[in-house]
Amino acid sequence: MNLDSVRDDSKLMVYVISDSIGETGELIAKASVKQFDTKDFAIKRYPYTNSVEQVKPLLEEAAAQKRALVVYTNVDMETRAYIKRKEKELNLAMVDVMGPPMEKLETLLGYEPMRQPGLIRRLDENYFKKVESIEFAVQYDDGKDPRGVVKADIVLVGVSRTSKTPLSMYLANKLYKVANVPLVPEVPVPKEVYEKDKRRLFGLIANSEKLYTIREERLRALGLNSSAKYANVDRIKEEVDYSVQIMKDIGCTIIDVSNKAIEETAEIINDYMISRF
């Protein structure tokens, strides 16, 4: 059969109806139309169309067109039932984007879907928040810029090798913006730390023996002499005593990380943050 002889030259109207922003439906519509040799089409997207009252005039408008396709991604049961009923009543060409995949998944998983609009959008937003939090942790790592203390959700303070950096990155994956500040007796603590909301300040301490072992291994890995001041037991005790005094002065929550995994410390901080805000 020669398709050219039966081609309809009237404009194709594609209605994308969604209870979220409609990106998925529009993408599918565009990808499908591009498979046909036509430029005479228009795609109209109707985001946040959640109810029967909102859908009704759009379906009637589509039915009045000579050539129209309705692509919908709605998940609400009442709205979906109405659209399906109107598909037959108005003799509309329709594509149900979400229905078939959800039905198959319901069969495979054995329970009903949540039917909440915009869940994928929320996941995308969380992804970008996570990236932003990780970039923040890198930018304001190790006291590079005291301005980070002001902007941070959480500020970690402690002597070297108390896991400030890895803990900052772990908390960033939980969407917290974290700045960390090293405590060194010879270096003044930034005034921003003293001005920070005490509920957001966490001091990390560890026993001297644990720090000595970690620092010695660190020096060995760098090919440096283990007799350096950095791994001197007396020096480490001095740093720990100094850090505890600073932590008391700024009024932060003190956590002993001597025998804690990063995940465990992060969970403690997360619990504090949830209870405080």
- CATH assignment of the domain containing 185: 3.40.50
Q: What is the 3-state secondary structure (H, E, C) of the chain?
A: CCHHHHCCCCCEEEEEECCCCCHHHHHHHHHHHCCCCCCCEEEEEECCCCCHHHHHHHHHHHHCCCEEEEEECCCCHHHHHHHHHHHHHCCCEEEECCHHHHHHHHHHHCCCCCCCCCHHHHHHHHHHHHHHHHHHHHHCHHHCCCHHHHHCCEEEEECCCCCHHHHHHHHHCCCCCEEEEECCCCCCCCHHHHHCCHHHEEEEECCHHHHHHHHHHHHHHHCCCCCCHHHCHHHHHHHHHHHHHHHHHHCCEEEECCCCCHHHHHHHHHHHHHHHC
Mean pLDDT calculated for residue range 6-33: 86
Annotated binding residue 18: no
Domain boundary among 88, 117, 146: 117
66 is in an annotated binding site: no
Q: What is the pLDDT of residues 98-136, one digit of tens each?
A: 999 999 999 999 998 888 877 766 666 777 888 899 999
Domain count, the chain: 2
Is 73 annotated as ligand-binding? no
The model's pTM is: 0.61
Where in the sequence is the domain holding 156, given as residue range(s)? Answer: 127-276
Asked which of 117, 138, 167 is the last residue of a domain, the reply is 117
Residue 163 known to bind ligand? yes
**Residue 121 has which token pair?**
């959008």
The answer on whether 158 is annotated among ligand-binding residues is yes
Last residue of a domain, one of 117, 146, 166: 117
Tell whether 162 is in a known binding site: yes
| 49 is annotated as contributing to ligand binding | no
pLDDT for 188-239, tens place per residue? 999 999 999 999 999 999 998 889 888 888 777 777 665 566 778 889 999 9
- Report the pLDDT value the prediction gives residue 233, as an integer from 0 to 100: 84
Output the average pLDDT for the chain.
90
pLDDT band at residue 9 under the 50/70/90 scheme: low
In terms of pLDDT, which residue wins out, 65 or 5? 65
